[in-house]
Amino acid sequence: MIRQPAVAGQFYPGTEQALRRELQQLIPENSLKQQAIGVISPHAGYIYSGSIAGQLLAGITIPRTVIILGPNHHGIGSLAALSPDDGWQTPLGTVPIEKRLARLIQQRLPAIQKDAAVHLREHSLEVQVPFLQYLRPDVTIVPLCLAFSDYAGCEIVGSGIAAAIKEYGEPVLILASSDMTHYESAENAKLKDNLALERALAFDPKGLVAVCRSNRITMCGGNSGCHHAGGSQRTGG
């Protein structure tokens, strides 16, 4: 089965020509490339955060295999769900699922389910795919949607993914899809975002959870799936 796009024409252009034109505008040319193991990329509509995602992904070397981690905005299905599909369709074509790495993840983490319902309408992973296709046409993906409410569950998943990548034996990029502070002034958002990003850059996951909770930072996936999980879908987040 091929997953059909859920938010093409909403979060990003719905035709190949329009989408390529949009990506050309959002992705800077001739960016210096850095090696990266993991990145955090926003998932709002391209009109809101596409330029940030474009600058980010244009500045790294994208390997053939990318694990996309995203929060569950709808609050349905499994707490940790792999896509059961063979590929994901966008207006640019179909991106194959990297089945061998997906199997290795499931072997390490039997609690992770293959759950099509979780991915059916979820936008946080889908909006990343056209950028990856554009920059790395032969890319393969492992989409994994998470809705944990406890740090321990996240730690178990992280350790399992790390072990699966090691066994996989090829370069893998982990792309965490997350919008940062919601519904606040630019000044407050910058202050709160910096607090969260400082902990992320310090490789301090417990500190990230603590700072998000103590400062009421509405970062999608900040150890609670998303601050509006189960709410209506919006092109802003």
pTM for the whole structure: 0.86
Q: What value does the mean pLDDT of the chain take?
A: 86
Which of 190, 91, 77 lies closest to 133 in space, CA to CA? 91
| Topology given in CATH for the domain delimited by 2-179 | Protocatechuate 4,5-dioxygenase; Chain B (3.40.830)
102-127 CB burial, b ≥16 within 10 A, e <16: bebbbebbeebbebeebbeebbbbbb
Domain positions in the chain are 2-179
Confidence of residue 104 (pLDDT cuts 50, 70, 90): very high
- pLDDT, tens digit, 9 for 90 and up, residues 107-119: 999 989 999 999 9
Tell me, what's the pLDDT at 217? Answer: 62
Burial class of residue 199 (count of CB atoms within 10 Å of its CB; 0-12, 13-18, 19+): middle
Angle at 135 between CA 85 and CA 175, to 5 degrees: 60
Per the document, the length of the chain is: 237
